[in-house]
A = this chain, B = another copy of it.
């Protein structure tokens, strides 16, 4: 197999909106996309494979397996206005050639489905500190989108030339090149690998933007677990420090 392949069921969508949530910083994109998939009971209709993904197969307890992939799910808008397409996956391409090829392919595929709007989800890190009240940052393809983001309470980047690594940035950049409207929406994050608190903040903004209601119960649970863990770690660090401050015997 060479390059990138998408296997898909032929379907018709109504002015679909694409949400891209792949593994990345704080796993914010991944958490958001998976939560939406569950909440919206979205159905898979396409799978993307790439020769630039890791050469891995994933096994399951029932004896099934599959190659690592990115997968497209859809949710039919009950009001018939904007169907939602979710892109989630196990991985992103590991090299430049793969990132440029796969991310443009995603945009071309979505365009072929009649799509005009793309939201990519990522993390925005300002340091190595857990963020208790994460802000939601964003950039947009055009003036109208940027105004819309600001109205939704999305914060613009704090510094010029701040980088976005990987698909969250590349997909929205290719969207712009292909004439689609789009935004990269990023939850403030730091320190933790799976940041449910940041994902929650993004979900609150995003669900408002999409006009859908999303139960945040399961995300709240991950958040509570993470914060409990962090508190325990902090306390054990503190007591270790006190140990260190005890007078030490001068004979070693």
Contact = CB atoms under 8 A, between A and B. Distances in A.
A60 B160 contact: yes
B53 A96 contact: yes
Interface in A123-171: 138-140, 146, 149-150, 156-166, 169-170
A94 B54 CA distance: 11
Given A51-B97, A169-B65, A250-B251, A157 B1 contact: no
Instruction: Find the residue from A54, A62, A166, A169 having the highest chain B CB count within 10 A.
Output: A169
Given A51-B97, A67-B173, A163 B104 contact: no
A53 B62 CA distance: 34
Interface residues of A, number: 55
Most buried by B among A56, A160, A172: A56
A140 B104 CA distance: 34
Interface in A97-121: 97-101, 103-104
Among A60, A65, A173, the one with the most B-chain Cβ atoms within 10 Å of its Cβ is: A65
Contacts of A1: 100-101, 104, 174
A211 interface: no
A64 B95 CA distance: 25
A58 B162 contact: yes
Given A67-B170, A172-B65, A173-B66, A55 B100 contact: yes
A55 B172 contact: no
Given A1-B104, A55-B96, A139 B170 contact: no
A63 interface: yes
Given A63-B156, A157-B61, A173-B65, A165 B99 contact: no
Nearest to A155: B63
A184 interface: yes
Which 8 pairs show the lowest CB-CB distances between chains A and B?
A: A57-B169, A55-B99, A51-B100, A63-B146, A59-B157, A1-B100, A65-B139, A63-B156
